[in-house]
């Protein structure tokens, strides 16, 4: 009969080795996790990254705004051309009816003039190439035929121009879409960075409304004073790229909206706005309501006096006052 034996109990030495192996494996695992977990960047590091992203986003957004404004202008031009073509086509149709009446009259008399026959072909313009036959018509009939030819020529030119404009519009639309995608990617990266920050860091990065800053000074002319007064009513409104108000704004959209309230039409983007008004030589010459452009023209704010600007800063922030020295390098100053 086979004997049944209990398995030998593990020795203390083996037990100790197994325990040490587990501890060692756990330590290695924790060390690996620690190595993989990136340390939280400091507020100053995040601020530097945010400034860089905001600069890139401003550039992409204003390029998109510029393309969008050009697209709208081109679309308006195409629409005007199309309306003009429609009006001239109607005039040409009326003249063709007159030519038809001439032919009908001549047919009733038993002979249709060769020139009229030519006008009723698929290519009415050919009649001018046979001007010698025009003396067979009355002066009134000849005048109508000449007018028809002129309308046909005008229509041909307008249709060719409209075709070119439509092609340009299509190319610009594609460019605007690419710029929009680029701007959206920059904004998304900015928001991701803000989301990675702690609550206290986010407060430091985004800031408040700047209500603790002391602004003031002599207002500019009535347009600037009215624009500044309108801008002040939007303090605390959120920044949103591509927006022109009345509840959300990007930097140039905020300037555009504020001056619209004063009855003045600014361009849509910073690059267009830099062409408005007259240059200001130095900060000391700035007046309340003047436009101040930063970082190569990629950002714009409104001067509020005492070295303060009122602007829509960037993603995550709200319309606020801010020291002119903290925004970036001044590129241009304009008095509207």
Positions annotated as catalytic residues are 251, 299, 311
Spatial separation of the C-alpha atoms in residues 221 and 226, rounded to whole Å: 9
Q: For residues 190 and 203, what is the distance between their CA atoms, to the nearest angstrom?
A: 15
Cβ neighbors of 225 (< 8 A, separation 6 or more) are 219, 262, 288, 289
Q: Are 250 and 315 in contact (CB under 8 A)?
A: no
Using the Cα atoms of residue 185, residue 60, residue 314 and residue 231 in order, give the sign of their dihedral.
Answer: negative
Element (H, E) at 292: strand 291-294
Neighbours of 70 (CB within 10 A): 18
The secondary structure of residue 39, as a DSSP letter, is P
- Positive or negative, the Cα torsion across 242, 248, 250, 253? positive
SS3 (DSSP) at 320: strand
Beta bridge partners of 302: 291, 310
Q: Which residues contact 287 (CB under 8 A, 6 or more apart)?
A: 217, 218, 219, 220, 224, 303, 335
CA–CA separation, 84 vs 140, rounded Å? Answer: 26
* Beta pairing partners, 320: 311
Is residue 238 helix, strand or coil? Answer: strand
> CB 139: neighbour CB atoms within 10 A?
9
């Amino acid at each position: 009969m086979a004997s049944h034996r209990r398995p030998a109990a593990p020795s203390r030495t083996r037990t100790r080795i197994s325990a040490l192996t587990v501890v060692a494996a756990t330590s290695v695992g924790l060390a690996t996790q620690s190595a993989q977990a990136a340390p939280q960047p400091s507020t100053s590091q995040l601020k530097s990254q945010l400034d860089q992203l905001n600069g890139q986003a401003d550039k992409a957004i204003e390029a998109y705004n510029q393309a969008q404004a050009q697209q709208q202008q081109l679309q308006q031009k195409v629409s005007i051309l199309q309306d003009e073509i429609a009006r001239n086509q109607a005039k040409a149709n009326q003249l063709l009816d007159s030519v038809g009446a001439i032919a009908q009259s001549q047919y009733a008399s038993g002979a249709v003039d060769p020139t009229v026959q030519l006008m009723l072909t698929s290519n009415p313009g050919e009649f001018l190439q046979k001007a010698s036959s025009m003396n067979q018509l009355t002066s009134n009939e000849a005048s109508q035929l000449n007018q028809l030819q002129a309308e046909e020529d005008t229509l041909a030119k307008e249709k060719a121009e409209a075709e070119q404009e439509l092609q340009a519009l299509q190319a610009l639309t594609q460019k605007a879409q690419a710029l929009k995608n680029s701007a959206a990617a920059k904004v998304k990266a900015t928001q991701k960075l803000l989301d990675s920050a702690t609550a206290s860091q986010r407060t430091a990065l985004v800031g408040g409304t700047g209500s603790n800053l002391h602004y003031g000074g002599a207002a500019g002319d009535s347009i600037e004073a009215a624009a500044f007064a309108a801008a002040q009513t939007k303090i605390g409104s959120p920044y949103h790229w591509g927006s022109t108000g009345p509840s959300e704004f990007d930097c140039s959209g905020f300037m555009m909206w504020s001056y619209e309230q004063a009855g003045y039409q600014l361009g849509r983007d910073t690059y267009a706005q830099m062409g408005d008004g007259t240059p200001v030589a130095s900060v000391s010459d700035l007046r309340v309501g003047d436009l101040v452009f930063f970082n190569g023209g990629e950002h714009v704010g409104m001067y509020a006096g005492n070295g303060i600007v009122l602007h829509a800063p960037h993603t995550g922030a709200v319309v606020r006052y801010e020291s002119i020295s903290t925004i970036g390098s001044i590129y241009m100053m304009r008095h509207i």
